[in-house]
Structure 1
Amino acid sequence: MNPESHTVPKTDNGDNIEITTEVKNPARNIEDMTNETRDEKYEETVLPTLQPPEEKIFKKNLIAKVDRRLLLMLVVMYILACLDRTNIGNARLAGLERDLGLTVDQFQISLATFYVGYVLLEVPSNIVIGKFTPSKWIPFLMMLWSIAICCMSAVRGFPDLVVTRFVLGITEAGFAPGSIFLLSMWYKRSQFALRFSIFFSGSVLAGAFGGILAYLIIDVMKDAGGLEGWRWLFLIEGLCTLLISFVAFFVLPNFPENANFLTPKEKKYLVTRLSKDDGSLHSPRRHKEFSHRGLLMAIKDWKVYHNMISGICGGIALHSITLYLPTLIHSMGFNAMQSQLLTVPPYLFGWIFSLMVALHSDRTKERSWHIVASTMVAIVGYVGLATLESRVAKYISTFFITSGVWSMIPLKLAWFLNIHSYPHDKRSIAIAMIITISNCSGIIASMLYQPKDGPRFVKTNVLIASLLSLTVILVIFMRFMLHRENEKMNSLAVKNNTPSIDKGDLRTVNVEKTAKIKTHDEMDVEKREHEASEDANGRDPQFRYIL
């Protein structure tokens, strides 16, 4: 097909705007098409004209600006969330169990009740986030759980502890899925893995230094004001969380199109770029109202349930190592203080490893094989714990577990959001459903490592290794199915003669000038024409899954 040149009628100021469309055979190189190629070509041709060096600097500075304002704030909030949910383990070492007269079973029940409240409110919270702005809803949740933590400093027995832990679970429930949804509205799909790894580094940092911080608070404040050290731990960490929640009310942004820290040019650039990436280029990025259509789409999608199973398998590994790493190290023959300190190296090593894997995954625009490789690393660690006798070898196995698990989880979330990227109301519900079921694994994990199975915990470690092996199978199956769907979309593109933004297909449009001459009727016609060409899920025809 020969290049065609169309001249748009003159505008009020007499300018002619020429739109050049060069469309070659859409079947050409379609199998080799990648989201990166389409996005880069799109950004070069459709976004406001910038010279290549200027555009590169502009993009780099803009993403760094978003990272500083959004990502950094969420990481700080997540660190505090993880400290608040896990400091009960430190309080146990400081005498909480003894002072409240708890049995081992009662303590484990108090751990599990947090996850009961957590899973009950995750989906409703992500529905509510569509009615209220994230910049208000997420800090509001943080304020509520900080109050719950402060109340834990006043518990007098098992019933009080169970109630406060349940309330803590309810109030924390919306934070993680809400934060993940908010991050997904600011970054391209190819940027998810690294950002999610940085976000989840809050859990790693809380695990690495939470024990040391707790020890210092308990040691310094013990018996101050007639209160036990563990009560001061809950009170001080709760007040710190309350303070940060007030800061978050003023710092946390909503969405790119209404962010007050961006210039109009930056807003336009981000919105257009992100809309193209998730397949909603010609449709409004809706997030202000809950849509029953999105809920029904999530419920009917088999991929949501597949990812739920995969999520709960990985979640059991995540929660078990988070809750019981000090116990596992203590079972190797180290004393209580040594066990707390020896958790730091595996946490830090796993954190660095996860960032490296995520960075490589984003750069290569590949998810599934990175998830498989990370999961295999964790499997090696659990098999090592179950079979090795040497204390040093068993300790080294914990490095494999933290590295594999903490690199696998962010990659899976990035992939889930790629799979359920559009429409946005479906994305919000789907990710909440997946995380809800995944967090049910916390209830299971809290019951796994029984004292009677120590010190090797062979059955538990083999069970977790088996669940991770199932995860590998599920990921490979999903990759196969998504590849088939991509092939179907490629075939449909050929059948409908749909041009793709690739090296062979070029569309040059001056967005600034075109926007000035379009009437409402013209835009309405364009919207109807585009909707007629969208696929069954409402995506742009050029959308493809990242494998």
Structure 2
Amino acid sequence: MTTQSPLARPSSEHSVSEKRDVSHVEASDAIEEEEDPIEAKRVLRKIDWRLIPLLMFLYTLTFLDRVNIGNARLWNLEKDLGMTGYDYNIVVLVFYIPYILFEIPSNILLTRVQPRYWIAFLTLGWGLSVTFAGFARNFGGLLTARIFIGIFEAGMFPGSLFLIGSWYKRHELLSRMAWFMVSNDIAGSISGLLGAGLGSPDGVRGVSGWRWIFFIEGGVTCLAATLAFFFLPPFPQDSTFLQPEEKTWVLRRLRADSSQTGQDEKMNVRGAMRSLRDWKVLTGGVLYLAVCVTAYSLSVFQPTVLKTFGWSSLKSNLLSTPPRVASGIVSVCVGIWSDRVKRRGVFCVSGYAISIVGNLLVMLLKNGNLRYMGLYFASIGIYICQPLVIAWCSNQVVGSVKRGTLTAFAVSCGQLGGIISAVVYPSKDSPQYVPGISTCVAFQVVGILAACNMWFWARHENQQRDLGRRDHLRELAEDEIAKLGEKHPDFRYTL
């Protein structure tokens, strides 16, 4: 005699779901028929509160420690270290080289080491690196510190996305990723305030303002590593904070949602290389690169652009905050909306288009107030796309190996955007920065083309499955069917 889970509805409702034609619906629909919505919501909220706030806090610190050099620049950084010409741009750029190289290896290690151990180690490593950057005496010392910050930060973002993606169904994912990535906006909103506040003791005890920024922000990050060590949850199959029946329910719905059973497969080099041959994984890299060229330009160079309006360093730091607040609010709202309607493409294309309009306003207009309005549009549009493209591409693949490879590869490609933004905004292009902003617009056009390709292909493939033109795959051996992943006839791509 079996005991029914408190998360299941009565068997009479379950019998209805058994009569449905699963070849014309997503595999998750059957699970939705079985769920008690009140109990399901309770368990999901339990997961949300354990996972999302802590990762948001850690990623906020990640982003602050990455872009604080933009605020430090306004507090005598270049003067104290004797930096001239492209030295600042090189310091910004060099961070991204180790960041790109260590993305995929870090996600491979994450599946073999408990997330709390690995992410706590990374957090402590980059916190110490930021702190020691404050002791730099020349250009070479700051350059070395930035390299180590890149090494340790490399695993945090893709690892967090991988962990979040392991806990939720495909159409629950974007709203959670949007909340997680609103950390970008939190960091962007307070970085100016922190730059103004932490740098204001400039000269106190003979220490320049930029050193105070690095010392204090780095020290806070080191302390935050203890939170990751004690409170970060593992992957679902290893969780202990859920009741046994809750854990069973979570694992069962995740398997049903992706039409496969290989959830516990660990990443390895061979699997990662095989996944990189999938065009959907490659498209994820293109889409995220198109996002990050503009995102990093806004994060690192926005205070500098604002200063060309004739504003002081303090005012430029402070007024870099409101556009990020607006973009964070809109990003979360769009994420919730997209999850509810189970659509991605239309929001993705719209986000790129809005950002293009904003960038053109900043580049072509002369009036400071109108250019400032353009920064709002540029920020809102691009931060709609940032969580969206990761969630959308993750929706199109099945299995831990491919999902982990996709998140790491996409984020690696995104960091190329950081390198590009670092070299296309030299001071000589002030105040309009035509080459830099034109580069952002060009990449966003590429993003629109890649998104339209994904959107139309997903629609075509779903139509083929609805017409039964992929049903011949059901005749494969059982073990082969289990390996089909997103090629399974029951699987539906997200439009």
When the two structures are superposed, what TM-score results if normalisation uses the length of structure 2?
0.92
CA deviation map 1:280-315 (0-9, x unaligned): 2xx24225x434552243122122223322222221
Read off the aligned partner of 1:207 and give its amino acid letter. G
Q: What corresponds to 2:381 in structure 1?
A: 404
1:269 is aligned to 2:249 = yes
SS in 1 for 2:241: coil
8 Å Cα contact 1:379-1:401 kept in structure 2: yes
In the TM superposition, residue 214 of structure 1 has moved relative to its aligned partner by: 2.9
Whole-Å Cα distance in 2 between the matches of residues 481 and 497 of structure 1? 20
After TM superposition, the structure 1 = structure 2 runs for residues 375-394 of structure 1, keeping only pairs within 5 Å, are 375-394=352-371
Tell me the CA shift for residue 539 of structure 1. Answer: 5.9
Deviation string 1:318-365 (CA, Å, 9 cap, x unpaired) is 111111111222222222221111111111111111111111111100
**Deviation of the 1:173 alpha carbon:** 0.3
- Unaligned 5+ segments in structure 1 are 1-9, 12-16, 48-54, 499-527
CA-based RMSD of the aligned residues comes to 2.6
**Equivalent residue in structure 1 for 2:390, among 413, 429, 435:** 413
Work out which of the residue numbers 112, 116, 136 in structure 1 matches 2:97: 116
Q: Partners in 2 of 1:488 and 1:343 — Cα distance?
A: 48
CA contact (8 A) 1:533 1:541 kept: no
Contact 2:289 2:417 in 1 (8 A): yes
Separation in 1 of the partners of 2:317 and 2:486?
51
User: How far is the alpha carbon of 1:256 from its aligned partner?
Assistant: 2.0
Q: Is the 8 A contact 2:425 2:435 kept in 1?
A: no
- CA gap 1:43/1:376 in 2 versus in 1, 3 angstroms: same
Task: Give the drift of 1:418.
Answer: 1.0
Distance in structure 2 (CA, Å) of the matches to 1:448 and 1:22: 56
CA distance in 1, matches of 2:306, 2:196: 17
User: Which position in structure 2 is the counterpart of 1:509?
Assistant: none
Pick closer, same or farther for the CA change 1:369–1:386 going to 2, 3 Å. same
Q: Are the structure 2 counterparts of residues 299 and 115 from structure 1 closer, same or farther at C-alpha, using a change threshold of 3 Å?
A: same
User: Structure 1 residues 546, 456: CA separation in 2 closer, same or farther (over 3 Å shift)?
Assistant: same
Structure 1 position 207 matched with structure 2 position 155: no
Aligned equivalent of 2:127: 146
How many Å separate the matches in 2 of 1:320 and 1:174? 22
The CA deviation at 1:65 is 1.4
The residue number in structure 2 matching 1:239 is 219
Moved more, 462-471 or 402-411: 462-471
The runs of 5 or more residues in structure 2 that have no matched partner are: 3-10
Counterpart check, 1:424 vs 2:400: yes
CA distances 1:194-227 after superposition (whole Å, capped 9, x unpaired)? 1111111111111111221232223247433x43
Q: How does 1:118-197 map to 2 (within 5 A)?
A: 118-197=99-178
- Equivalent of residue 346 in structure 1, options 323, 328, 338: 323
C-alpha distance in 1 between matches for 2:293 and 2:236 = 35
Question: Per the alignment, do residues 124 and 132 of structure 1 end up closer, same or farther by CA in structure 2, a change over 3 Å counting?
Answer: same
Q: For the residues of structure 1 that align with 2:282 and 2:150, how far apart are their CA atoms?
A: 23
Q: Return the offset for 1:44.
A: 2.5
C-alpha contact 1:535 1:541 (8 A) present in aligned 2? no
Letter in 2 for 1:43: E
- State the Cα distance separating 1:263 from its structure 2 match: 1.1
Counterpart of 1:449 in structure 2: which amino acid?
Y
2:234 is matched with 254
- Indicate how the Cα distance of structure 1 residues 27 and 383 shifts in structure 2: closer, same or farther if over 3 A, else same: same
Distance 1:293 1:543, change over 3 A: farther
Question: Is 1:85–2:61 an aligned residue pair?
Answer: no
Shift of 1:22: 8.0
Matched, 1:321 2:305: no
TM-score of the superposed pair, with normalisation by structure 1: 0.83
Aligned match of 1:286: 264
CA distance in 2, matches of 1:27, 1:232: 60
- The verdict on how the C-alpha distance between 1:39 and 1:104 changes in structure 2, with shifts beyond 3 A counting, is same
Is 1:480 paired with 2:456? Answer: yes
SS of the equivalent of 1:262 reads coil
Residue 375 of structure 1, CA deviation: 0.9
State the Cα distance separating 1:236 from its structure 2 match. 1.6
Give the letter aligned to residue 263 of structure 1.
Q
Identity of aligned residues (%): 31
Of the three residues 30, 38, 42, the one matched with 2:31 is 42
